[in-house]
A and B are shown apart, each in its own frame.
Chain A
C-alpha cells in the first residue's frame, strides 16, 4: 500500500473546475515539488492534503484511510507569511507544539517537563540557525529568519507530512538558496514526506525527488472555468534535461497567459 494515494480526484467550486481527474501515488519520504501557473490548483491540492478543503469527487487516502477532514499534528505547514505567532518569542514559538501536545488543558509546561522540552527546542533552533535570536520576537526577525522559525516550529512536531506553500516566495535569491540547503538537510535527517508548492520552475527542477507539474490539458477560451488542471508531468528529479525544462516552461506560461487573459 502506498503512503498517499490520490485516485480520480476532482475539485470544483460551483461551476468552476479547479482540479480534474488527479491520479497520484506518493511513497513515504518523498520530496515532491508542485509547480504550475497561478490558478492551476496547486495550493488547492495542498489544502486538501492539509484537511482545510475536501475533494468534490474521488479518493484521497493516507495509508489506505481517507484523509482526516481537519488539520492535525501529523501534517505540518509552512505558509509564505504569517505562520509564526507574533506574541511569542522564537523559543516560545517552537515550544508551543510540545506544550499543546503534553498539556491539553493548560497548554503550558512547567518545571522539569519544561526544561526537557526546552532542550529539544534549543536543538531545533540551533539546527535552523536561529540560536543567536532565540529570545527575540518575530517582528525583530528578517523574512528569511521568520521562515526558519516557521520551519523549526513544524519540524519539532515530527509531522508525517510537511506541506510548504510557496515558503520562499517572498525571499531574496541568496537567502532562498540557504533555505533550500536547510530544508534538504532537515528532510534527509527526518525522512518526512514533503510537498512544496513553488512558482519557481527552476526551484522545482532540482529540489527534492519528484516534480509534479499542474497544468490545464484542455482550455476553452470562452469558458476558462469549464476545465480544471491536472498533473501533466510527473518526473523524477536529477534528470535535468534542458529541452524538457523549456517545453514545460512554455506550456505553463501559455496556461498562465490564457488564465489571466
Chain B
C-alpha cells in the first residue's frame, strides 16, 4: 500500500502526536541533569526544581520592591495590549474588508493602499511609533494594529469576493439595497471567516507585542523575559515562554469554540 494511503489508528495517532513532546522533555531533562551534576549553580539548563521555585517567586509571592505578583501583573498587562490591539485590528479589518469586497468604487480607491500597507515590515516603523505615540501603551497597541490589520483587511475582502456571484444577484432580486446586501448577506457570512483570520493573526500579534515590550516597557511578559536575560535567568525565561505558549493555545481554542457555537452553519460545511 502506498504511504499516502496509510492512515494511523486513533491510539497510534495519539501516541505519534505525544511522542515528540515526550522526547523533547526527556532530552532536556537528561542534558539539564548532566550539567547540574557538573555544576549545581549552572544557569543555562535549569532543572524542574529551579523552575518551580522561580515560578513560585514570580507568581505566588509579592515582589519585595513593588508589592505586586509580577507574573500576573505581566500577564494582565500583555493580554490587555494584545486584546486591544487585535480587537481594533479586527474591527478595522471587518469594516475596510467588507467595503473593499463589496463596493467596486471603494475597492478601486482602497485596495492598492491596503496592499501596499500590508507590505511594510511593521517592526521597521516601530521607531516611528515610539516617536509619534510615545513610549506608553498606545505605541505598543498601534504596532499590533499596524502589523495585523492590513493582512486581515485583505483576507476579509477576499472572503467577501469569494461569496458566490449567484447570491449577490439573488439578494438583489429580493429587493435589497446596497446597505442590506452588506448587512444581511456579506457581514453575517464573513464574521466566522474573520474569526479564522484573527486566529491566524494571533501569531504575528504576539510577535509584535513582545518586540515592543522588549524595547520599551515597564511591565509585560516580553519585558520580563528581556529584563531577566541580563542575569541569564533561564529558570524564569523558560516558564514564561511555556506560559505564553499556553495562553496562545487557550486563546486560539476559545476562538475556535466560539466560531463553532456562534456559526453552526459555517463549520458543518455550509459555505
Contact = CB atoms under 8 A, between A and B. Distances in A.
B176 interface: yes
Interface of chain A: mostly helix, strand, loop or mixed: loop
A97 B185 CA distance: 12
Nearest to B192: A87
Contact of A100 (B166, B167, B176, B188): B176
Contacts of A83: 166-167, 170
Contacts of B264: 137
B271 interface: yes
Contacts of A71: 169, 172-173
Nearest to A138: B270
Contacts, number: 89
Most buried by A among B171, B175, B176, B183: B175
A52 B268 CA distance: 32
A192 to B, nearest CB: 13
Nearest to B185: A85
Given A97-B175, A104-B177, A107-B180, A86 B169 contact: no
Contacts of B180: 100, 104, 107
Interface in A69-94: 70-73, 75-77, 79, 81-87
B173 A100 contact: no
Contacts of B184: 96, 99-100, 107
A100 B179 contact: no
A139 B265 contact: yes
Contacts of B174: 73, 96-97, 100-101, 153-154, 157
A48 to B, nearest CB: 13
Given A100-B184, A138-B270, A139-B269, A85 B175 contact: no
Nearest to A104: B177
Given A87-B263, A100-B180, A73 B173 contact: yes
Chain B interface size range: 20 to 34
A82 B170 CA distance: 9
Interface in B98-137: none
B164 A87 contact: no
B219 interface: no
B75 interface: no
A14 B216 CA distance: 61
A77 to B, nearest CB: 5
A152 to B, nearest CB: 12
A225 B263 CA distance: 47
B226 interface: no
A71 B169 CA distance: 7
A16 B185 CA distance: 35
B32 interface: no
A75 B170 CA distance: 10
Contacts of A77: 169-170, 173
A79 B166 contact: yes
Contacts of B189: 85-87
B270 A81 contact: no
A120 B57 CA distance: 68
B209 to A, nearest CB: 33
B69 interface: no
Given A71-B173, A87-B188, A100-B184, A82 B265 contact: no
Contacts of B171: 85, 96, 100
A105 interface: yes
Contacts of A84: 170
A50 interface: yes
Contacts of A52: 169
B175 A87 contact: no
Most buried by B among A71, A104, A137, A153: A71
Contacts of A153: 170, 174
Most buried by B among A85, A101, A157: A85
Nearest to B265: A137
Contacts of A139: 265, 268-270
Interface string A115-148: 0000000000000000000000111100000000
29 contacts: A52-B169, A70-B172, A71-B172, A72-B172, A73-B173, A77-B173, A81-B164, A82-B164, A85-B185, A87-B189, A87-B265, A97-B174, A97-B175, A99-B184, A101-B175, A104-B177, A104-B180, A107-B176, A107-B179, A107-B180, A107-B183, A107-B184, A137-B264, A139-B265, A139-B269, A140-B268, A150-B170, A153-B174, A157-B174
Given A75-B173, A85-B189, A154-B173, 7 more contacts: A79-B169, A79-B170, A96-B171, A97-B174, A100-B171, A104-B179, A139-B269
Interface of A: 50, 52, 70-73, 75-77, 79, 81-87, 96-97, 99-101, 104-105, 107, 137-140, 150, 153-154, 157, 159
